[in-house]
Chain A
């Protein structure tokens, strides 16, 4: 079946511009995650959505970052007033949920963001 998809695959923007990154999770997955991966670095947690619960935003690095998930499916990560240090790969993952046996995360291919 279809996996997690992300768009765009690549995004080049100018410093100060806003960008929106989209994630389409696997159908039926209630949990959705956003991560940031800088060159050669690990996965930095940004935000977590689980069903209808309030999202866990504890990983967002500044108030320029926000995310929403509409209808429990598609999610959009928005970065306002982009800075050069925002350049990274933004990964989205989804899973069935947090119950034992359903934690496996399925990752999308990522959006490569370059801020000039």
Chain B
């Protein structure tokens, strides 16, 4: 099955700095890579995703890059703000027979943005 490694487990930055979180995956059949943000006491919420036919995707201050050859993908947050403080999860999944989709999640990165 798929194995997703996520680094770092904790990331502390100053407001305005950039933050980068990296993930690697093992299953070359994986073709969908979402990123979720989980705030304290809440469920994870999708913030951006990328598919295997795209190398980079941007949405305002966040961007995701994908390197299928190396089997890694990264989340980039620019101009960080205190409200970006949360736990971020990456995930990877192939689309399986019958359209089933069961993502494998990384262990999460706790991002702390200091004012």
Binding site for B on A (CB under 8 A): 4, 31, 33, 41-43, 45, 48, 50, 53, 56, 91, 93, 95, 97-100, 103-110
Contact = CB atoms under 8 A, between A and B. Distances in A.
A110 B43 contact: yes
B43 A109 contact: yes
A84 B108 CA distance: 24
Interface of B: 6, 32, 34, 36, 41-46, 49, 51, 89, 93, 95-96, 98-108
B102 A48 contact: yes
A42 B46 contact: no
Contacts of A93: 43
B105 A97 contact: no
13 contacts: A4-B43, A33-B102, A41-B108, A42-B105, A43-B44, A45-B102, A91-B44, A98-B101, A103-B34, A104-B34, A104-B46, A104-B49, A107-B44
Contacts of A108: 43
